[in-house]
Amino acid sequence: MDHADFVTGFAKAALDAGARALRIESVDYVKAVRAAVTAPIVGIVKRDLSDSPVRITPFVSDAEALADAGADIVAFDATDRARPASVKELVHAIKAKGKLTMADCSSLEDARRALAAGVDFVGTTLSGYVGGQEPVEPDIELIAAMRQLTPFVIAEGRIRFPDQAVSAAKAGAFAVVVGSAITRTEHVTGWFREAIGNAYQSHPETGHDAVLSIDIGGTKTMAALVCGDNVVEEVVVATERGAGPDAWISTIFETTSGWADRYQRIGIAVTGVTEAGTWSALNPATLPIPDRYRLVDCVETLFGKPAFAINDAQAAAWGEYRFGAGTGVSRLVFLTISTGIGGGVVIDGKPLLGLAGHFGLIRSQSEGQSPFEDQTSGRWIASEAAQNGHQIDAVGVFDRARNGEGWAAEIVSRSALRAATLCRDIQLMLDPDVIVIGGGIGLAEGYLDLMRSHFKELSPRLAPRLVAARLGRHAGIIGAADLAGESRAGEGRAEKATA
């Protein structure tokens, strides 16, 4: 439903039901909704930056574009973290457009700094989202504390039920934002599914044993209790790059200590290559890992339970094969196109492990000069934009391309052509039934269609069949859990397929 027509429909339905204002993401959606309603709009832009954790309206140009699109209030991340533009710069730019400002804060200190910089509203939007275990309940105490600083406090974050909204109002909130509980069907369904899954988990007749699944990435680590394809509970913590794998694993052990009696096996998905229980970095810039770090031994010693480790993209390939877009096929390739490029291969019901599937590192297309991902991925798209004089990330390039800017469309088109060419080569090498495309670039609006457009002249036998991934950010942990849950994980489904 990530389309202007749906967003506008949600906005009109909310207003019909009595909402007094709307918080809308993206310049395009603000424009679309502004044309359909007269209610106040709080506008934001979300970006995933490689050099900053700030996601909400990070650039001055974002704030100005939202104001021009019709937002009455422009909201932005006001946390005390490395950022492209200061809070003062954002406030100045927004007010120069004659608009009001909202600071999305994580703490009382954030609110104090934002108010000193001249913001009009402070919100609790980012409370619980800047590190550590994500809370479940809204931060009512922070609402009350902010109310001592200003009457213009907007309560936002994890407000899922009417009684929580009432508590926020009683704590002094000027207004209350309800997001996922109204607009995110997949979240609301997930809450019900989790509750029902917990109920069934208590009964042996469900036929599933919970697995602790861990996904260690370059910026964050996710741990989850998984039953089949059901993520029963999950936590996310920051991956402190300089701390090292011993510390990362210890943090997860401490964070999940309350789950100790709820699982019997552990699945681990990691960036890099895993072989015989060891873990090595293929790109130390992603995560600095000692060569052949004894990952499985360390986890089994600390947790006291058997563990299985696999590359994260290979785990995602297995997850999509078992429960997602590849259900029912025999041969599958998974390709994630994001900041970098990774992949996995499943042949005749067996995942290929080791180095298999690391498509982002192949060098044939550059005649050995550079990895494939350096000419195609989100990092490449951003670097090409910079060479064109635009200091924006890949998301910004896609936005510009959709707005008709030719230079941006050309960059996206070149990336899609190269990804399509890779898929043609994969089809000839492995003859998969489907190639599942995931990642922020691969699933960006229009990208998959651009890739498919390069197959029009091919015969049906030679043309790759591209399908969009279905499991999203949970693909890796679901895949790792399923492999670990097999009693013969080391020698059965998870054995290395050989030619």
β-pairing, 466-468 vs 434-438, is parallel
Query: Would the CATH topology of 188-316+475-485 be identical to that of 325-469?
Result: yes
Tokens (6 digits) for 31: 């424009």
Please write down the long-range contacts of 18-25, taking CB distance under 8 Å and 24 or more positions apart: 20/175, 21/175, 23/75, 23/156, 23/177, 23/179, 24/71
How confident is the prediction for the chain on average, in pLDDT? 90
CATH 3.30.420.40 at 325-469, yes or no: yes
Indicate the burial class of 283 (C-beta count within 10 angstroms; 0-12, 13-18, 19 or more). Answer: middle
Q: How far, in whole angstroms, is CA 318 from its chain's centroid?
A: 19
**Residue 256 above 80 pLDDT?**
yes
Q: Encode pLDDT of 279-304 as tens digits.
A: 998 877 777 888 999 999 999 999 99
**Residue 202 above 80 pLDDT?**
no
What are the angstrom distances between the C-alpha of 44 and each of 30, 51, 67, 73, 353? 9, 20, 10, 9, 41
Q: Encode pLDDT of 481-491 as tens digits.
A: 999 976 444 43
The amino acid that residue 275 corresponds to is E
Q: Encode pLDDT of 138-154 as tens digits.
A: 999 999 999 999 999 99
**Residue 495 above 90 pLDDT?**
no
Average pLDDT over residues 200-212: 58
Q: How confident is the model at residue 197 (pLDDT cuts 50, 70, 90)?
A: low
Give the residue extent of every domain in the chain.
4-183, 188-316+475-485, 325-469
List strands edge to edge, sheet with 265-270.
Answer: 230-238, 220-227, 211-216, 265-270, 307-311
CATH 3.30.420.40 at 188-316+475-485, yes or no: yes
Looking at residue 205, its pLDDT comes to 39
Q: Encode pLDDT of 264-279 as tens digits.
A: 999 999 988 999 999 9
Looking at residue 487, its pLDDT comes to 40
Q: How confident is the model at residue 203 (pLDDT cuts 50, 70, 90)?
A: very low
Q: Which contiguous run of DSSP H or E holds residue 112?
A: helix 108-116
Looking at residue 177, its pLDDT comes to 97
Looking at residue 238, its pLDDT comes to 87
Cβ atoms 146, 153 nearer than 8 A: yes
Return d(Cα 113, Cα 182) in angstroms, integer.
31
Tokens (6 digits) for 243: 């701390």
Q: Of 221-235, 355-369, 445-459, which range is least confident? A: 355-369
* CATH number listed for the domain at residues 4-183: 3.20.20.70
Q: How confident is the model at residue 136 (pLDDT cuts 50, 70, 90)?
A: confident
Listed in sequence order, the residues at least 6 apart from 370 whose beta carbon sits closer than 8 Å to its beta carbon are: 363
Looking at residue 220, its pLDDT comes to 85
Q: How many residues does the chain have?
A: 499
pTM check: above 0.85: no
Looking at residue 199, its pLDDT comes to 62
